[in-house]
Amino acid sequence: MKPHFSIALSPGHTPTAPGATRGNVTEYGLSSAIIGDMIFRLSKLGHTAHLIGSNTNSAQVRRINKIAPDFGLELHFNASVREDWNGSMVLHAGSQRGVDLANAIQKSQIKALGTKNKGIHKAHYRLDRRKPIITIVRETACPFVVIEPLYLSNAQDFERIDVPGISIAIVSGCLNYWEGLG
Ligand SMILES: [Zn+2]
C-alpha cells in the first residue's frame, strides 16, 4: 500500500439549491466548510485531496473518474419532518471496499460526535430498495460513500455541529480505512 492516497471530496448540493436548512445554516454551506477544512488537513498529511465542485451529477462523475482517486466521498446532512430523528449514517454501493470505507468513517464519526449509530446502508435514493443507487455512488469507479453525520432537523444533533470536529472525525475514518487496506 502506498503511503499516501488521493481522494475526491464533494460538498452535497449547490449554492442555489443548498439542500436541508435550519435557519441560515444549509447543507451546502456546512458541508463546503467541512470539505474545505478536510482538504487542508489531508494536504498537511501529504495526501492529495480534490474538491469536486457543484455541477450536474454526470459531470461530477466524469471528473471523478478522470482523476481516478483511490476513493471518494460526498458530504450531506440529514433532515426529517420527524424532529426526534437523529444520528449518523454512511451510504455505500455494496462493494467490499465501499463497505470497509463506510464502516471506518461511521465508527470514527459516532465516536467523535457522540451521535446515535444509524448504521451503514446501501445508497438507494431515500433508502428505498426499489429505487436505484445514488448516481455519484453508483457511477464512480473508485469506492465512494455518502456521509450523513447528523440531522440538521434535530435540536440535539444541531448542537453537535463543529466544523473542525466533524472534519477531523471523517479524516480519521479515511486514514483508518487506508491503513486497513495495507
Ligand atoms: Zn443532502
Distance 13 CA to ligand 1 centre (A): 6
Grid coordinates of 166: 466533524
Distance 157 CA to ligand 1 centre (A): 16
Looking at residue 72, its pLDDT comes to: 98
Distance 12 CA to ligand 1 centre (A): 6
SS3 string, the chain, reads CCCCCEEEEEECCCCCCCCCEECCEEHHHHHHHHHHHHHHHHHHCCCEEEECCCCCHHHHHHHHHHHCCCEEEEECCECCCCCCCCCEEEEECCCHHHHHHHHHHHHHHHHHHCCCEEEEEECEHHHCCCCCECHHHHHCCCCEEEEECCECCCHHHHHCCCHHHHHHHHHHHHHHHHHHHC
Low-confidence ranges of the chain (pLDDT < 50): none
Distance 4 CA to ligand 1 centre (A): 29
For the segment 128-179, what is each residue's pLDDT rounded down to a tens digit? 999 999 999 999 999 999 999 999 999 999 999 999 999 999 999 999 999 9
How many CB atoms are located within 10 Å of the residue 97 CB?
18
Distance 147 CA to ligand 1 centre (A): 9
Distance 11 CA to ligand 1 centre (A): 9
What is this structure's pTM? 0.97
CA distance 81 to 86: 11
Distance 27 CA to ligand 1 centre (A): 6
Looking at residue 70, its pLDDT comes to: 98
Looking at residue 1, its pLDDT comes to: 74
Could you tell me how many residues make up the chain?
182
CA distance 114 to 88: 9
Distance 3 CA to ligand 1 centre (A): 32
What percent of the chain clears pLDDT 90, i.e. is strictly above it?
A: 98
Distance 42 CA to ligand 1 centre (A): 23
Sign (positive or negative) of CA dihedral 15, 16, 21, 25: positive
Looking at residue 160, its pLDDT comes to: 96
Instruction: Give the right CATH number for 6-180 from 3.10.450.50, 3.40.630.40, 3.30.540.10, 3.30.460.10.
Output: 3.40.630.40
Distance 21 CA to ligand 1 centre (A): 10
